[in-house]
């Protein structure tokens, strides 16, 4: 499982993880430079992060693995499946886009808030949650989980976040785009209807290529919709993986 921008393997919603773990063995990864993973401080791109993941699959001696990627890391999962199709069993893409110039982007204000590392950890946490969840939920989620999110923000490197943002910006110049037709891996795609970070309209670019019977539109779901619908989403993913 690959988490998103500025997120570590410890940041997944616990109920979502428990639901998936009931049916599958999970490996939760940290991208280079974040969480328990080190790096050399150099710039990187999405394809380099995908190669990192490929090396983990090889090191664990998995012949094939199913890969779930959320947000930024959904981009990594796509690049991985394109470059190493024989290693990928199935692909689960949450709140992500195929990149390229046709991808529908967040507004400049949302992009700025997402990457903004200024202020105290609690100020950062409130700002982050305001873009991950719909406005009518964001403050209540901050009141409940703001301390946890703030503690995680306090551990982040601003330089690392800038390099992740640069990798995402490059993806929107030259992501998979037209290469989607090369992607033969069975793929499940889902997004929250009210996602303002990676608008859900990007999901429809896959709709004719990868159609999952009964795949829902998560009404009221924000960018982090898996924390709003943890068990229903986990059940759908488990069903897809069991096919």
Q: Looking at the domain assignment, is residue 146 inside a domain?
A: no
Q: Looking at the domain assignment, is residue 19 inside a domain?
A: yes
- What local confidence, expressed as pLDDT, does residue 210 receive? 54
For residue 180, what pLDDT band results from cuts at 50, 70 and 90? confident
- What local confidence, expressed as pLDDT, does residue 214 receive? 45
pLDDT tens digits for range 104-136: 899 999 999 999 999 999 999 999 999 999 999
Q: Looking at the domain assignment, is residue 4 inside a domain?
A: no
Q: Looking at the domain assignment, is residue 175 inside a domain?
A: yes
More confident residue, 79 or 205: 79
pTM of the model: 0.94
For residue 200, what pLDDT band results from cuts at 50, 70 and 90? confident
User: Other CB atoms closer than 10 Å to residue 241's CB: what's the count?
Assistant: 17
User: 167: domain CATH number?
Assistant: 3.40.50.1820
Q: Looking at the domain assignment, is residue 3 inside a domain?
A: no
For residue 235, what pLDDT band results from cuts at 50, 70 and 90? very high
Please provide the average confidence, as pLDDT, over all residues in the chain.
92
In percent, how much of the chain has pLDDT > 90?
A: 83
Boundaries of domain holding 185: 9-117+156-242
Q: Looking at the domain assignment, is residue 133 inside a domain?
A: no
Number of domains, the chain: 1
Q: Looking at the domain assignment, is residue 221 inside a domain?
A: yes
Q: Looking at the domain assignment, is residue 149 inside a domain?
A: no
């Amino acid at each position: 499982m690959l988490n998103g921008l500025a997120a570590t393997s410890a940041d997944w919603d616990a109920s979502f993880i428990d639901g998936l773990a009931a049916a599958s063995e999970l490996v939760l990864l940290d991208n280079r430079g974040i969480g328990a993973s080190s790096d050399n401080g150099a710039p990187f791109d999405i394809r380099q992060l995908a190669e990192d993941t490929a090396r983990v699959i090889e090191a664990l001696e998995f012949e094939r693995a199913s890969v779930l990627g959320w947000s930024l890391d959904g981009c990594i999962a796509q690049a991985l499946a394109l470059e190493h199709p024989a290693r990928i069993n199935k692909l689960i893409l949450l709140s992500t886009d195929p990149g390229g110039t046709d991808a529908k982007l967040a507004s400049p204000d949302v992009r700025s808030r997402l990457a903004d590392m200024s202020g105290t950890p609690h100020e950062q946490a409130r700002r982050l949650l305001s873009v991950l969840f719909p406005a009518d939920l964001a403050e209540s989620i901050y009141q409940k989980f703001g301390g946890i999110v703030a503690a995680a923000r306090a551990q982040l490197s601003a330089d690392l976040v800038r390099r992740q943002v640069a990798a995402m910006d490059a993806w929107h110049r030259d992501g998979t785009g037209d290469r989607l037709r090369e992607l033969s891996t069975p793929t499940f795609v889902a997004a929250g209807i009210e996602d303002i970070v990676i608008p859900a309209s990007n999901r429809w670019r896959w709709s004719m290529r990868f159609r999952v019977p009964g795949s829902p539109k998560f009404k009221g779901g924000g960018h982090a919709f898996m924390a709003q619908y943890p068990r229903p989403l986990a059940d759908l993913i488990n069903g897809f993986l069991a096919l």
